[in-house]
Amino acid sequence: MDFASFLIQTLNSLQYGLLLFLVASGLTLVFGIMGIINLAHGSFYMIGAYLAFVLTSATGSLMLAIALGIPLALVFGAFLEWALFAHLYKRDHLEQVLLTYGLILIFEQLRSLLVGDDVHGVAIPAFLDASIQLTEVMSYPVYRLAISVVCIVLAVALYFVIQRTRLGMMIRAGNDDRSMVESLGININMVYRIVFALGVAMAALAGMLASPISSVFPNMGSQVLIISFVIVVIGGIGSVWGALVAALIVGFADTFGKVLVPELSGIVVYVVMAVVLLWRPEGILKKG
């Protein structure tokens, strides 16, 4: 591999890792703070992508679709928490898996009834539809770089909310000890509802952002779900920073794995996971 290729592959790794972070951060929050194993998390990514497709077709602009889609996803998340997930906190993981697996089937069937089973594309907004020439034959789409910038901004915003605001304090406290937080007179149920809605919105946003480059297709959620769980486990359950570090590790492992050891590219990520867990069974950053 020459140096130019190496640099571009590094860029690929960062860009892929940051997008994965956007999906996985919501999952790790819900898993770590609320103790819910949410298999339907990938469905929220799928729903986001289909929202982007439907709203972009209706309004003619992906930006407008995202602006409309985020509040929709927040409301949808809060509703689901109120209607279903609130009843799960005191139950065991098996029942959580049962419910959330059922949700995957329901969401996929609804998607099939409402939008159909065809593959769809979403147009890149005109002002981002350009590319930067990197080598004589290859260029890099500006839209991919823009996604990375959005992901970085969101990571910083998330850091700010969790570390510097009252809500963040409650979230961290709830992560450590639910009953203690309750006995201090904090409405932990409201905190949970907000966290869950945020998690759904972040997965949906990831789906919306990714829709122009990944296209929109049935079962797209299940692909990101597995890799998201890998990231959550590598990073340490409940740790947003762990998820960021883990997502970047996975991004690099997947990209360079495909190029350097193509015949093993399918398992490189899992080998990395095994090694990390041998080294730190609780994940890289347990809670934080």
Q: What does the binding site for other proteins look like in residue numbers (CB under 8 A)? A: 1-2, 4-5, 8-9, 12, 15-16, 112, 117-121, 123, 131, 133, 135-141, 143-144, 213-220, 223, 254-256, 258-259, 262-263, 265-266
Spatial distance between the Cα atoms of 252 and 261, rounded to a whole number of angstroms: 13
Nearer CB in complex with other proteins: 89/222: 222
Work out how close the CB of 226 gets to other proteins at its nearest, in angstroms, rounded to a whole number.
11
- Using CB atoms within 10 Å of the CB of residue 86, give its burial: 0 to 12 exposed, 13 to 18 middle, 19+ buried: middle
Nearer CB in complex with other proteins: 133/179: 133
Work out how close the CB of 65 gets to other proteins at its nearest, in angstroms, rounded to a whole number.
16
Closest CA to 243 of 252, 233, 253: 233
Nearer CB in complex with other proteins: 157/259: 259
How many CB atoms sit inside 10 A of residue 180's CB? 12
Spatial distance between the Cα atoms of 194 and 87, rounded to a whole number of angstroms: 16
Nearer CB in complex with other proteins: 54/74: 54
Nearer CB in complex with other proteins: 114/137: 137
Work out how close the CB of 220 gets to other proteins at its nearest, in angstroms, rounded to a whole number.
7
Q: Please name the residues in contact with 200: beta carbons below 8 A apart, sequence gap of 6 or more.
A: 26, 44, 73, 74, 76, 77, 80
Work out how close the CB of 76 gets to other proteins at its nearest, in angstroms, rounded to a whole number.
24
Work out how close the CB of 258 gets to other proteins at its nearest, in angstroms, rounded to a whole number.
4
Q: How far is CA 16 from the centre of its chain?
A: 12
Q: Please name the residues in contact with 95: beta carbons below 8 A apart, sequence gap of 6 or more.
A: 88
